[in-house]
A and B are shown apart, each in its own frame.
Chain A
Amino acid sequence: MSKPIYFDNHATTPVDPRVLDAMIPYFTENFGNAASRNHAYGWAAEDAVEKGRKQIASLIGATSKEIVFTSGATESNNLAIKGVAEMYAEKGNHIITAATEHKAVLDTCKHLEKKGCRITYLPLQGDGLIDLDMLRESITDKTILISIMYANNEIGVIQPMAEIGKIAKERGVLFHSDAVQACGKIPVNVIADGIDLLSITGHKLYGPKGVGALYVRRKSPRVQLTAQMDGGGHERGMRSGTLNVPAIVGLGAACELAQQEMAVESVRLRGLRDRLRAKLEANLEEVYINGSMEHRLPNNLNMSFAYVEGESLLMGINDIAVSSGSACTSATLEPSYVLKALGLGDDLAHTSIRFGLGRFNTEAEVDYVAQKMIDVVNKLRELSPLWEMFKDGVDLSKVQWTAH
């Protein structure tokens, strides 16, 4: 077992060695520019890019002409949302999104708000799902876009995509989804889900960092975007810039592998995740799962370990790589806004740990992590005045704290 054990696969994943093998020739012998139309180096690069496009399209049920390459999902989200807002400005200026979106969506929306757009941030239900009735009621004749993530990066909760897509179609509103956590993990199909724009990135599905794609629907409706990067008019004018051929080859290969192995891999990861959950729940009291278990990625577990602060927990399990929703672990010193949106109190948000399992994790690692978590939580509870008060039957919500 090599340490630290990596259980942070929602943050990023290692490149699969098979993906790396596919990429390497495109750094050296096949180094051509895919836009060079008049020699063999360019043709080889273009062939590789078109193969990658096909592999990505196949994973999400699209056609290869609908794939636009970007530098990653942050750029894909920016291009989708800003591109639609500018292109359809005459039709309307209202965008609907959710409170638990990734910052790449939320901050893009905030930017547009300053430019005169109106944004609705849908709240979440306690299980992490959006309320479809509330979505329906939020749509106005000025609404041009709904942007709802496929699966959440902290709690792994999967939104009802097909239902949202149906509502969007009925009302003639475009539907964008940030699908970086879902693609390659669960079946994603832009036709069945009624998705018009979809963001994907390489490094969450065992491909390289620095490459992503945006699916842009070409038929019923044909979606148009205002480019956010001016230049040589690559990618049907939607995203200028010389294509990163080796990374695109890697993203394509990663998508193909994910498609081939998803059925088996997702069952295996679900088994590991459920094993971890069962061990923790059997050996520790006062642990709480954050978000729906039913509508959830197979590789995600997000738990609060009441009365134990998250950063001190991470410090005790320093041979395990996971992340926490505790304020102490974030740059802003605020606890996770995703957990708060579920209605979780700050006290429980501070005690949360996110486990993200991946392709290379083993059952032995799960057993090690579970035991280590149990030992450290018990040790820290012995140190915790809150645990002592809880055990003495004190109602912590009634205590007069000296907040500062």
Chain B
Amino acid sequence: MAYSDKVVDHYNNPRNVGSMDKARTDVGTGMVGAPECGDVMKLQIQVNTETGVIEDAKFKTFGCGSAIASSSLATEWLKGKTVDEALDIKNTDIVNELSLPPVKIHCSVLAEDAIKAAINDYRTKQGAPVAAETVAH
């Protein structure tokens, strides 16, 4: 399968690889997928609790090149957004940006799920109600 230039770029130079301390209350962690499905994404955000702005984002992904690129792109997009703005990121935005073929759409869905899971985790830690649409599917 041929990959788009943007997927190749994210694969070769993944942005924001790493891990944060998931015990911290200003850090939200989302881990989605399963090893037997061939992809697992861990996405973490560090939020300014005063302003609600995501100041840092990190990821680690086990999965194909498109899964790596989707999560790498997600961390780029998350930084500087407020938590509420981050919830507006849709998997279709990722599909369009990376020119993902139909068989790789699930990678973008996983990235959206990871974003929501991370925000949920952050909000839970902050004692805020959890958004309804973030139920795993």
A interface vs B, CB < 8 Å? Answer: 307-312, 315-316, 326-328, 333, 335, 345-347, 350, 382-388, 396, 401-404
Would A404 and B31 count as touching, CB distance under 8 A? no
Q: Decide if the interface of chain A is mainly helix, strand, loop or mixed.
A: helix
Bound form: Cα–Cα A309–B11 in Å: 13
Does B3 reach chain A (CB closer than 8 Å)?
A: yes
Would B64 and A388 count as touching, CB distance under 8 A? no
Would A309 and B64 count as touching, CB distance under 8 A? yes
- The stretch from B32-40, B49-57, B79-87, B122-130 touching chain A is B32-40
Q: A315-B3, A402-B136, A404-B110 are in contact. Are A384 and B36 (CB under 8 A)?
A: no
Would A384 and B61 count as touching, CB distance under 8 A? yes
**Residues of A close to B42: CB separation below 8 A:** 385, 388
**Residues of B close to A333: CB separation below 8 A:** 103
Q: A311-B65, A333-B103, A396-B35 are in contact. Are A404 and B60 (CB under 8 A)?
A: no
Would B37 and A403 count as touching, CB distance under 8 A? yes
Does B41 reach chain A (CB closer than 8 Å)?
A: yes
Bound form: Cα–Cα A381–B85 in Å: 32
Q: B40 to chain A: closest CB distance in Å?
A: 6
How many pairs, one residue from A and one from B, have CB atoms within 8 Å of each other in the complex? Answer: 92
Name 26 interchain pairs, CB-CB below 8 A, sorted by A.
A308-B62, A309-B62, A309-B67, A310-B38, A312-B63, A312-B64, A312-B67, A315-B8, A315-B11, A326-B64, A346-B35, A346-B37, A350-B38, A382-B17, A383-B60, A384-B60, A387-B62, A396-B35, A401-B35, A402-B31, A402-B136, A403-B34, A403-B36, A404-B33, A404-B113, A404-B137
**Residues of A close to B103: CB separation below 8 A:** 333
**Residues of A close to B41: CB separation below 8 A:** 385
Bound form: Cα–Cα A309–B38 in Å: 6
Would B68 and A312 count as touching, CB distance under 8 A? yes
7 A-B pairs closest in CB distance? A401-B34, A346-B36, A347-B35, A385-B42, A311-B64, A385-B60, A403-B34
B interface vs A, CB < 8 Å? Answer: 3, 8, 11, 14, 17, 19, 31-42, 60-65, 67-68, 103, 106, 109-110, 113, 117, 136-137
Bound form: Cα–Cα A319–B34 in Å: 29
Bound form: Cα–Cα A382–B19 in Å: 11
Bound form: Cα–Cα A326–B37 in Å: 10
Q: B93 to chain A: closest CB distance in Å?
A: 19
Bound form: Cα–Cα A293–B117 in Å: 44
Q: Name the contact of A309 in the complex, choosing from B3, B31, B63, B136 (C-beta under 8 A).
A: B63
Would B63 and A388 count as touching, CB distance under 8 A? no
Q: B31's closest neighbor in chain A, by CB?
A: A385
**Residues of B close to A326: CB separation below 8 A:** 38, 64
Bound form: Cα–Cα A345–B3 in Å: 28
Contacts A327-B38, A385-B60, A404-B106 known; 11 new A-B pairs at CB < 8 A: A311-B64, A312-B64, A315-B8, A346-B36, A346-B37, A350-B38, A383-B17, A402-B31, A403-B34, A404-B109, A404-B137
Q: A339 to chain B: closest CB distance in Å?
A: 12
Q: B15 to chain A: closest CB distance in Å?
A: 11
Q: B7's closest neighbor in chain A, by CB?
A: A315
Most A CB contacts (10 A, CB to CB) among B8, B40, B103 go to B40
Bound form: Cα–Cα A307–B17 in Å: 16
